[in-house]
């Protein structure tokens, strides 16, 4: 089944809140090799004006991908996950993700375009804490065509 | 907490930065243990990133690194230079080639970066990042916008 082009413009309901923890921030920072103590030392983070330890710039993917799964595994969307390749990713940070944040992600399918047997899909996850926008994550996935 | 006060005291001064400035480069060695660590931390447990049999079965040459691992490791060159991991206000890339990670040797990725534009009004720097695995450019148009002090 090909990807359903009618999904362009679709907006999904907000995801369940994700609680950003100091432990997960530390684990993620170590995994990508970000040694800035702002990820692990609350006193350092507060001296820089943050409420608590902050996450590395790409940590947002962890929350954005939860929102993207709503679309990717939507049976009506026709996305074959085994053929999905990650094409592009962009984060716009309105402020850093911070320990203690309760983040809700809302996914919009910005575009669905067929090109050369493949389908390129751009999704946008708006991550927010209450009324406050925190990060916009734009993701391009390519669904490879069947042989 | 406003954008102007965040990162207080640690961020690089805008006035000390010039277009063409080359940031300190970094080589990152990637082995299977590193990918398993990232899989756990990121919750991206796709077996193409740690299970060689599975990766080969789906047509890959071997296990490949998570594109998001490479993206996350690349930006540390920028955040180390900027003096604050919270200084990156926008960061995007294309995933142009996979980083193939053989069991025996692993893979080395060389990250380097250059300041390509400065905006006086916002005190922001545009930094372009290069990520090379051998001769392969594994990230394309990797660009970070950095809020300086």
Q: What is the largest CA-CA distance in chain B?
A: 53
pTM > 0.90: yes or no? yes
Q: Do A57 and B95 touch (CB under 8 A)?
A: no
- Is residue B70 in some structural domain? yes
- CATH number of the domain that residue B72 is part of: 3.10.129.10
ipTM for the predicted complex? 0.95
Q: Cβ contact (<8 Å) for B41 and A87?
A: no
Confidence of residue A116 (pLDDT cuts 50, 70, 90): confident
Going along chain A from its start, the domains and CATH numbers come out as 5-143 (3.10.129.10)
CA-based nearest distance B28→chain A, Å: 9
* Spatial distance between the Cα atoms of A51 and A45, rounded to a whole number of angstroms: 7
Using the Cβ of B47 and the Cβ atoms of chain A, whether some distance falls under 8 Å is answered with no
H/E element holding B28? Answer: strand B22-30
Note whether residue B59 is domain-resident.
Answer: no
Reduced to 3 states (helix: H, G, I; strand: E, B; else coil), residue A25 is: helix
pLDDT in tens, B70-97: 999 999 999 999 999 999 999 999 999 9
Q: Read off the pLDDT band of B133 (50, 70, 90).
A: very high
Domain membership flag for residue B126: yes
User: What is the distance between the alpha carbons of residues B21 and A90, in angstroms, rounded to a whole number?
Assistant: 24
If one counts the domains in chain B, the total is: 1
Domain that holds residue B73: 14-30+66-147
Contact B139, B74 (CB under 8 A): yes
> B4 in a domain, yes or no?
no
Q: Which residues of A touch B49 (CB under 8 A)?
A: none
User: In whole angstroms, what is the distance from residue A46 CA to residue B5 CA?
Assistant: 11
Residue written as token pair 């994700």: A18
pLDDT tens per residue across span B15-40? 999 999 999 999 999 999 999 999 99
């Amino acid at each position: 089944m090909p990807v359903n082009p009618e999904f362009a413009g679709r907006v999904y309901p907000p995801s369940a809140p994700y609680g950003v923890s100091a432990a997960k921030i530390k684990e993620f920072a170590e995994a990508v090799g970000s040694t800035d103590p702002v990820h692990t030392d609350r006193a350092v983070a507060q001296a820089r004006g943050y409420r608590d330890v902050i996450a590395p710039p790409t940590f947002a993917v962890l929350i954005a991908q939860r929102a993207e799964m709503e679309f990717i595994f939507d049976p009506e969307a026709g996305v074959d996950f085994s053929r999905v390749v990650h094409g592009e990713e962009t984060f716009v940070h309105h402020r850093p993700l911070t320990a203690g944040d309760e983040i809700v992600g809302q996914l919009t399918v910005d575009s669905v375009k067929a090109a050369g047997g493949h389908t390129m899909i751009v999704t946008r996850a708006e991550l927010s804490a209450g009324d406050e926008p925190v990060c916009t994550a734009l993701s391009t996935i390519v669904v490879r065509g069947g042989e | 907490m406003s954008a102007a006060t965040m990162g207080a005291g640690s961020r690089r001064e805008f006035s000390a930065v010039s277009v063409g400035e080359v940031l300190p480069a970094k080589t990152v060695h990637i082995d299977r243990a590193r990918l398993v660590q990232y899989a756990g931390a990121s919750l991206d447990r796709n077996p193409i990133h740690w299970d060689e049999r599975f990766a080969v079965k789906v047509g890959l040459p071997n296990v490949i690194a998570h594109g998001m691992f490479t993206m996350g490791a690349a930006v540390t060159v920028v955040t180390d230079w900027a003096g604050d991991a919270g200084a990156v206000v926008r960061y995007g890339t294309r995933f142009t080639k996979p980083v193939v990670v053989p069991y025996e040797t692993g893979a080395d990725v060389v990250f380097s970066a250059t300041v390509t534009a400065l905006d006086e009004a916002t005190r922001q720097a545009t930094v372009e990042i290069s990520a090379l695995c051998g001769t392969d450019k594994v990230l394309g148009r990797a660009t970070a916008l950095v809020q300086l002090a």
